[in-house]
Amino acid sequence: MHKWALLAAAIAAEVIATMSLRALQENRLWLVVVVVGYSTSFYLLTKVWQAGVPVGVAYGIWGATGTAITAVLGTVLFGEPFTVAIAIGIGLIVAGVLMVEFGSHPEPKS
């Protein structure tokens, strides 16, 4: 369970950093949050790998979840559009991550 908590924290740090990039356009002080957020996220992601989560699985979940949350928050916080195409794209990303997850387990030998 610890490895999934680390991954959730890595995702949260990445989303905060990405949203701060958008806020940086209005105020340069957000640069501190961007740098700390991405640094924290990458550090935690390495801890997830050290905890034994396969690279493809951890990175896929990190990237897909971060993308989906960022798209939703962009709509909520900044009034950016959330179209059917975006929703389908997020669905395809999730499907791809699930395929990587299922494919990361070796098939039982008969």
pLDDT digits (tens, 9 = 90+) for 45-59: 999 999 999 888 899
Q: Per the domain annotation, does 88 fall within a domain?
A: yes
Q: The domain containing residue 28 runs over which residues?
A: 2-103
Q: Per the domain annotation, does 110 fall within a domain?
A: no
Left, alpha or beta for 83 (phi > 0: left; psi -120 to 50: alpha)?
A: beta
Tens of pLDDT, residues 57-109: 899 899 999 999 999 999 999 999 999 999 999 899 888 888 887 877 777 77
Q: Per the domain annotation, does 108 fall within a domain?
A: no
Q: Per the domain annotation, does 109 fall within a domain?
A: no
Tally of CB atoms within 10 A around 72: 16
Q: Per the domain annotation, does 81 fall within a domain?
A: yes
Higher pLDDT, 93 or 32: 32
Q: Per the domain annotation, does 70 fall within a domain?
A: yes
Please report which confidence band the pLDDT of residue 18 belongs to, taking 50, 70 and 90 as the band edges: very high
Q: What is the pTM of this model?
A: 0.85
Q: What pLDDT, on a 0 to 100 scale, did the predictor assign at position 76?
A: 94
For the chain, counts of helices (H) and of strands (E): 4, 0
